[in-house]
Chain A
Amino acid sequence: MITLKINGLDVSVEKGSTLLEAARFLGFPIPTLCYMDGLSPYGACRLCVVEIGEGAKAKLVSSCTYPSEEGLKVRTASSRVLRARRMILELLLASCPQSKIIQDLAAAHGIRRQRFKQEYEDCILCGLCVRMCEEQMMGKAIGFRGRGENRSIGTPFDIKSDVCRLCGGCMYVCPACQLRCTYNEPEKAICGACANLSPPCVEKEQFNDMMCYMDPCVACEIKKDK
């Protein structure tokens, strides 16, 4: 067992557990986006930031990837942490305003307005789908491609992958809500279910009957309006 201080309380947690696991076990809420039980922690969304250390040495770390250390002093909701979290949420909201999950998180953190330009990105590169595909579905059909601003998630060469079983796991975990759906382009699609119906993906009544995991698909509506 490891003893450490979380929000001023002396607690002891199991060796090898991360700060996030420790804090959640003890009932301190930490919001997460790219973390999921059963998938390896990735530290992409930075929403789970906590403050460790004291005074001038205090720093923000992502709790999902930081292992518990003996004698560590952790604050899960200091003003610095909350400020950082709000900024992260504002930025996530700007890149993906159509996401229900991000909207809910932003609302819960008291964000009432958007200061940044809305980008309506399809993806926040949280890597949940990549890890889902590899670790739970034993697929490895999708992965990261490129780097920097050209970084994206998808299949090699943007064509249907040989190892994809159309399980839909990637869409199920996606917080950006419409990430893997490529509408009526079955060559590119991982799912492609909607393309088998006509007219594809646009008729709401039919849309509800489809094998689509992103129901209701808000992003779809926005793309249509553009």
Chain B
Amino acid sequence: MAANTGTQSAEDIDSKDILRILEKHTEDRGGLIAILEEIQAEYGYLPEKSLRIISDKTGRPLVDVYSIATFYRSFSLKPRGKHLIYACLGTACHVRGAPRVVEELKHQLGIEAGETTPDKEFTLETVNCLGACALGPVVVIDGHYFSKVRKSRISQLLEQARNGFGTLEIGKDKRIFPLNVNCPHCNHSLNDDTYDIDGHPSIRVTISSGRKQGWLRLSCLYGSYNFASEFDVSIDSVVSFLCPHCGVLFPSTSDCSVCAAPMVRMLVDGGGILQICSRRGCKNHILDLV
């Protein structure tokens, strides 16, 4: 299932968007499901207007498009919420207590299966198997799988979904701790009190990519990959890291074992070396504490 943007409503539907999607699929007949999938990814559901445009442009009868759109469970003709919850009611999950979990979900959200909460936050769907029967009851929220879910865990899961699963639980996880980092050349601290990421001062460096140069702020928490940057760096491109104080390029003594880009070296306050991969999207890093 593609990401659910859920931000656009029926009035926003631009026939240009749909035509753009249609242009990509010129193959005979077979492209219909792919077209519907892309429209669903764009809007979170299949608006009536989009089906009419598809029928118009592909020359297939509207009734055929409609029958395909209603046949598959992954397509929805009704707008869906920001967070999509799939609760498994397959045989294995069922005997392990999935009905109670679904009841609790329905109760807490105040909706029936297949419905969306009035605030457009959650959509609850039941499915018949997710292929993880040994881990049942399984609940999937926004593509994150939760196994052996109990009734008591539902409120916590919903809360987590509201806040987003991308954020880490700082403080609870012992693998996460803050680091103070210094420039290996001028030994200035790179931690920046004026800009917090994850509730801690961020690590500020200067990056240059092509002709662009700007700041990049990394989370100082070891184990967190959150960051902010002045300009967008495209995924997989390699950037150079410079010290914002002395302007010297951070030295690189080794290449990333994952993607072969140069590893950037910084000093850890109190002794030690931190190396991070300079490729955007690569999460490889080495921490040597003395």
Q: Are B48 and A143 in contact (CB under 8 A)?
A: no
Q: Which of B57-65, B143-151, B182-190, B249-257 contacts A (4 or more CB under 8 A)?
A: B57-65
Q: Look across to chain A and name the residue whose beta carbon is closest to the beta carbon of B55.
A: A156
Q: Are B71 and A147 in contact (CB under 8 A)?
A: yes
Q: Are B64 and A140 in contact (CB under 8 A)?
A: yes
Write out the residue numbers on chain B whose beta carbons fall within 8 Å of the beta carbon of A142: 63
Q: Does A144 interact with chain B (Cβ within 8 Å)?
A: yes
Q: Does A141 interact with chain B (Cβ within 8 Å)?
A: yes
Write out the residue numbers on chain A whose beta carbons fall within 8 Å of the beta carbon of B51: 156
Interchain Cβ contacts within 8 Å, total number: 33
Contact partner of B67 among A145, A161, A162, A163, CB < 8 A? A145
Q: Look across to chain B and name the residue whose beta carbon is closest to the beta carbon of A141.
A: B63
Q: Does B66 interact with chain A (Cβ within 8 Å)?
A: yes
A161 to B66, CA, bound (A): 12
Choose among A142, A144, A156, A161 the residue with the greatest number of B CB atoms under 10 Å from its CB.
Answer: A156
Q: Does A65 interact with chain B (Cβ within 8 Å)?
A: no
Q: Given that A156-B51, A157-B48 are known contacts, is A145 also in contact with B66, CB under 8 Å in the complex?
A: yes
Q: Are B61 and A140 in contact (CB under 8 A)?
A: yes
Write out the residue numbers on chain B whose beta carbons fall within 8 Å of the beta carbon of A161: 62-63
Query: Number of residues in A with C-beta < 8 Å to the partner?
Result: 14
Q: Does A99 interact with chain B (Cβ within 8 Å)?
A: no
Write out the residue numbers on chain A whose beta carbons fall within 8 Å of the beta carbon of B62: 140, 156, 161-163
Per the 8 Å Cβ criterion, residues 85-142 of A in contact with B are 140-142
A157 to B55, CA, bound (A): 14
Write out the residue numbers on chain B whose beta carbons fall within 8 Å of the beta carbon of A162: 62
Q: Given that A156-B51, A157-B48 are known contacts, is A145 also in contact with B70, CB under 8 Å in the complex?
A: yes
Write out the residue numbers on chain B whose beta carbons fall within 8 Å of the beta carbon of A156: 51, 62-63, 65-66
Write out the residue numbers on chain B whose beta carbons fall within 8 Å of the beta carbon of A178: none
Q: Look across to chain B and name the residue whose beta carbon is closest to the beta carbon of A143.
A: B63
A148 to B70, CA, bound (A): 11
Q: Does A76 interact with chain B (Cβ within 8 Å)?
A: no
Write out the residue numbers on chain A whose beta carbons fall within 8 Å of the beta carbon of B48: 157
Give min CB distance, A162 to chain B, whole Å. 8
Extra contacts, 18 of them, besides A146-B71, A147-B71, A161-B63 (Cβ < 8 A), are A140-B61, A140-B63, A140-B64, A143-B64, A143-B66, A143-B67, A145-B66, A145-B67, A145-B70, A146-B70, A147-B70, A155-B63, A156-B51, A156-B63, A156-B66, A157-B66, A161-B62, A162-B62
**Interface residues, chain A, with chain B CB atoms under 8 Å away:** 140-147, 155-157, 161-163
**Interface residues, chain B, with chain A CB atoms under 8 Å away:** 48, 51, 61-67, 70-71
Nearest 5 Cβ contacts at the A-B interface: A143-B63, A156-B66, A140-B61, A145-B70, A146-B70
